[in-house]
């Protein structure tokens, strides 16, 4: 069943000179529950804007965005925020860990916006999630003391701690070297598969995109499918992972 | 409930993480609340000192002094005393004393001297907060003594050579028909070298045999509730005019009365005004630091929005950070003020005895705490608005 549906979605922003800049044009995209899709594109092609719209951080200026069959434009800002917290997990290129908080505090932070038992049990849940991503020995470390790969694993644990339906990863390996990036992607795929989470990865790295079930290219705001021929040995990537 | 706990936990976590900047920003608030509460407490102590000093001479609030003068003849002290005691009994006035100032010859070792004596009832000591350095003040039992009891001034005692409660000193009073009086207590107050003594009023006061060089009849002092003072004065004056025909009777307040109200006014508005102004300045410091820090935290705020934080939640968290911090600073300041105020050796510092040390002014403490919290709310308001108005997408990419 389609969980995310974008139909004719466009996004324009007003420039200081009064003109309109079209960032996304007529985006049509359907994503199933548990599916892994990747969107590749150059810098400035609108990848992050698309991710922000899917994650309810931004709204389309045209078209329809339906989440689990519900049009999202009817939600209030408060409802969007709550839905965002409950439905989506975010992994950022620059990790965006909260400075001067331990790995446990970082992972527990999203649970402060949950309700009831999740709030009270946030530290235990954070520790369990850190164990899952292999950081059981780094729970009390501050981000400054962790390597880039470890920081991204903390960010993945944090994005998964509320057990979201969809994980949105914006250039998850962009700040990592090739080997570390590959390890992080392995771990990310392992976690989302374990939880049955839908994964949307934004990347400019074709080898990262090759890990997804479906791939798309975003070029100057226009989304198109990516053929297997465009990808570097997808089969090899999958079997290797 | 969970949401409130979560917001408070988040705000407290922020304070903990940014403790250095929080501490620095709160120095002004701490000092202002500390100053406000300790000055208020010091003011209360000062007021108590003034009040006690005033009460030692004029009596506690409200002390009414009633005098009756014969218009056509010399005063008949017995008639006047009887009339005054009757009126006290009639109106069931619990705290009262007849007061008569006289002079008496005291035969000290080696010399006789005319000394001022004041005959009073046992209640007088309480009514005037008299400080007894050694021995004790009069009790009702002393009225029934066969020989007079004396409470004397330090220079009176000096002439007798000292005080031993087990063997109280005695002094022979009077000229032609002297009586042996026992010193039962010594006053704490300085008498500037002139010996002075209190005698207890006796129903049969013949033995006092003092001369009355001032021609003053006895006067009546009554300690009554301040709200009843006008009523009591009118009733007592009216009754004495009826029972003492040919006398002029007048009553007035002997205590400081409204004079202390002016001191209260200065303490209430002057000291508090300065405190609030200082607190406002402290609040400006908190606001400045809050504004700088919130701009540095834009990315963090964006990340929290991605966690599902609503605008209201971000607003409340930033506001509560400020409120929690100033509330903690206020509470610490009050704690320090209490520790200081309760442990200062006032009598050594001021060289003046203070009988009833006033309790720490709870009202000032509560006011200081609430004012600090309110300043925190005001100082947190603008940074909270800035945080809410930050665009999430820009914040994350910042």
**Domains identified in chain A, total number:** 1
**Within this chain, do residues B331 and B307 fall inside the same structural domain, yes or no?**
yes
Whether B140 and chain A come into contact, CB under 8 Å, resolves to no
Whether B296 and chain A come into contact, CB under 8 Å, resolves to no
Does the residue A10 lie in any domain?
Answer: yes
**B357 CA: distance to closest CA in chain A (Å):** 47
Whether B300 and chain A come into contact, CB under 8 Å, resolves to yes
Whether A142 and chain B come into contact, CB under 8 Å, resolves to no
**Domains identified in chain B, total number:** 2
**A240 CA: distance to closest CA in chain B (Å):** 33
Helix (H) or strand (E) holding B79: helix B77-90
d(CA B25, CA B352): 40
d(CA B307, CA A113): 7
Do B101 and B214 contact (CB within 8 A), yes or no?
yes
**Within this chain, do residues B33 and B14 fall inside the same structural domain, yes or no?**
yes
Does the residue A170 lie in any domain?
Answer: yes
Write out the residue range of the structural domain in which residue B94 sits: 60-253
Distances (CA, A) of B76 to A211, A237, B250: 120, 125, 17
User: What are all long-range contacts of A78-84, with beta carbons under 8 Å and residues at least 24 apart?
Assistant: A78/B310, A78/B311, A78/B312, A80/A56, A81/A56, A81/B305, A81/B308, A81/B309, A81/B310, A81/B311, A81/B313, A82/B308, A82/B310, A83/A56, A83/B308, A84/A55, A84/A56, A84/A57, A84/B306, A84/B308
Cα B143 from chain centroid (whole Å): 32
Write out the residue range of the structural domain in which residue A221 sits: 2-98+164-240
Q: How many residues are given for chain A?
A: 241
**Within this chain, do residues B311 and B371 fall inside the same structural domain, yes or no?**
yes
**Of the residues B209, B232, B253, which one is the last residue of a structural domain?**
B253
The candidate with the shortest Cα–Cα distance to B169, out of B177, B180, B153, B155, is: B180
| Sign of the dihedral defined by the CA atoms of residues B54, B59, B60, B66, in that order | negative
Give the model's confidence band at A236: pLDDT under 50 very low, under 70 low, under 90 confident, else very high: very low
Q: Which pair of structure tokens corresponds to residue B185?
A: 């207590």
* Cβ–Cβ below 8 Å for A113 and B308: yes
How many Cβ pairs closer than 8 A exist between chain A and B?
70
Residue B17 with chain A: CB contacts under 8 Å? 99-101
**Within this chain, do residues B210 and B95 fall inside the same structural domain, yes or no?**
yes
d(CA B237, CA A181): 102
State whether residue A143 is helix, strand or coil.
Answer: helix
* Cβ–Cβ below 8 Å for B310 and A78: yes
State whether residue A99 is helix, strand or coil.
Answer: coil
Determine how many CB atoms are found less than 10 A away from the CB of residue B293.
17
Q: Which pair of structure tokens corresponds to residue A99?
A: 């400075």
- Residues B78-102 have a mean pLDDT of 92
- Residues B296-310 have a mean pLDDT of 87
Helix (H) or strand (E) holding A36: strand A36-40
Considering CB atoms only, which of B17, B308, B397 is closest to A85? B308
**Within this chain, do residues B111 and B34 fall inside the same structural domain, yes or no?**
no
Kindly provide the b/e burial profile for residues A94-113, where b requires at least 16 CB atoms within 10 angstroms of the residue's own CB: bbbbbeebbbbbbbbbbbbb
Whether B303 and chain A come into contact, CB under 8 Å, resolves to yes
**Mean of pLDDT over chain A:** 88
Q: Which pair of structure tokens corresponds to residue A200?
A: 């949307």
**Of the residues B199, B222, B253, which one is the last residue of a structural domain?**
B253
d(CA B292, CA B24): 13
Considering CB atoms only, which of B17, B310, B396 is closest to A101? B17
**Within this chain, do residues B146 and B283 fall inside the same structural domain, yes or no?**
no
Helix (H) or strand (E) holding A215: strand A214-219
Distances (CA, A) of B68 to B71, B97, B320: 9, 15, 68
Give the model's confidence band at A25: pLDDT under 50 very low, under 70 low, under 90 confident, else very high: very high
Whether A109 and chain B come into contact, CB under 8 Å, resolves to yes
ipTM reported for the complex, 2 dp: 0.85
Do A241 and A189 contact (CB within 8 A), yes or no?
yes
pLDDT on residue B194: 85
Whether A123 and chain B come into contact, CB under 8 Å, resolves to no
Does the residue A58 lie in any domain?
Answer: yes
Does the residue A172 lie in any domain?
Answer: yes
pLDDT on residue B212: 60
**Mean of pLDDT over chain B:** 84
Which CATH number do you get for residue A195?
3.40.50.300
- B193 pLDDT higher than 80: no
**Within this chain, do residues B376 and B334 fall inside the same structural domain, yes or no?**
yes
pLDDT in tens, B357-373: 777 778 878 888 898 88
**Of the residues B253, B276, B306, which one is the last residue of a structural domain?**
B253
pLDDT in tens, B312-360: 989 988 888 888 888 988 999 999 988 888 888 877 777 777 777 777 7
pLDDT on residue B230: 92
Q: Which pair of structure tokens corresponds to residue B195?
A: 């010996």
């Amino acid at each position: 069943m389609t969980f995310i549906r974008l139909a004719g979605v466009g996004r324009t922003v007003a420039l200081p000179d009064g003109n309109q800049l079209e960032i996304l044009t007529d985006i049509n995209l359907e994503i199933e529950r548990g599916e892994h899709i990747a969107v590749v594109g150059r810098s400035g092609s609108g990848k992050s804007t698309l991710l922000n719209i899917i994650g309810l951080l931004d709204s389309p200026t045209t078209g329809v965005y339906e989440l689990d069959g519900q049009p999202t434009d009817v939600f209030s800002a408060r409802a969007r925020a709550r839905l965002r917290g409950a439905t989506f997990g975010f992994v950022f290129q620059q990790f965006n860990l909260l400075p001067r908080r331990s790995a446990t505090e970082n992972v527990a932070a999203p649970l402060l916006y949950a309700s009831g038992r999740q709030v009270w049990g946030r530290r235990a849940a954070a520790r369990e999630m850190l164990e899952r991503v292999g950081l059981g020995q780094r729970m009390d470390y501050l981000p400054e003391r962790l390597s880039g790969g470890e920081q991204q694993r903390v960010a993945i644990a944090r994005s998964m701690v509320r057990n979201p339906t969809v994980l949105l990863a914006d250039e998850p390996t962009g700040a990592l070297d090739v080997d570390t990036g590959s390890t992080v992607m392995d771990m990310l795929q392992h976690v989302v598969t374990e939880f049955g989470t839908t994964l949307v990865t934004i990347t400019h790295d074709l080898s990262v995109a090759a890990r997804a079930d479906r791939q798309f290219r975003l070029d100057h705001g226009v989304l198109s499918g990516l053929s297997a021929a465009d990808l570097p040995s997808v089969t090899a990537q999958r079997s290797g992972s | 409930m969970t949401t409130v706990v979560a917001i408070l936990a988040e705000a407290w976590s922020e304070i903990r993480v940014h403790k250095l900047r929080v501490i620095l920003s709160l120095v002004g608030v701490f000092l202002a609340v500390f100053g406000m509460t300790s000055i208020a407490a010091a003011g209360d102590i000062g007021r108590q000192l003034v009040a006690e000093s005033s009460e030692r001479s004029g009596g506690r609030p409200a002390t009414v002094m009633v005098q009756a003068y014969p218009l056509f003849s010399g005063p008949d002290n017995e008639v006047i005393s009887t009339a005054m005691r009757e009126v006290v009994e009639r109106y069931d006035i619990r705290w009262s004393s007849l007061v008569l100032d006289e002079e008496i010859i005291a035969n000290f070792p080696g010399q006789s001297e005319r000394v001022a004596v004041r005959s009073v009832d046992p209640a007088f000591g309480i009514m005037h907060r008299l400080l007894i350095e050694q021995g004790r003040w009069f009790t009702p039992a002393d009225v029934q003594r066969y020989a007079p009891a004396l409470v004397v001034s330090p220079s009176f005692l000096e002439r007798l050579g000292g005080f031993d409660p087990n063997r109280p000193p005695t002094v022979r009073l009077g000229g032609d028909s002297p009586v042996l009086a026992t010193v039962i207590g010594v006053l704490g107050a300085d008498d500037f070298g002139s010996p002075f003594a209190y005698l207890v009023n006796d129903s049969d006061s013949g033995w006092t045999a003092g001369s009355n060089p001032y021609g003053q009849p006895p006067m009546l002092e009554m300690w009554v509730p301040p709200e009843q003072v006008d009523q009591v004065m009118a009733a007592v004056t009216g009754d004495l005019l009826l029972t003492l025909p040919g006398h002029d009777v007048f009553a007035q307040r002997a205590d400081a009365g409204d004079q202390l109200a002016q001191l209260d006014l200065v303490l209430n508005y002057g000291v508090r005004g300065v405190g609030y102004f200082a607190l406002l300045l402290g609040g400006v410091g908190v606001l400045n630091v809050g504004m700088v820090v919130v701009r540095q935290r834009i990315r963090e705020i964006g990340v929290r929005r991605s966690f599902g934080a609503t605008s209201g939640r971000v607003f409340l968290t930033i506001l509560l950070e400020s409120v929690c911090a100033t509330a903690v600073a206020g509470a610490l300041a009050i704690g320090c003020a209490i520790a200081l105020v309760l442990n200062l050796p006032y009598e050594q510092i001021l060289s003046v005895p203070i009988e009833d040390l006033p309790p720490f002014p709870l009202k000032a403490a509560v006011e200081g705490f609430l004012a600090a919290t309110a300043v925190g709310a005001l100082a947190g308001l603008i940074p909270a608005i800035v945080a809410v108005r930050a665009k999430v997408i820009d914040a994350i990419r910042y």
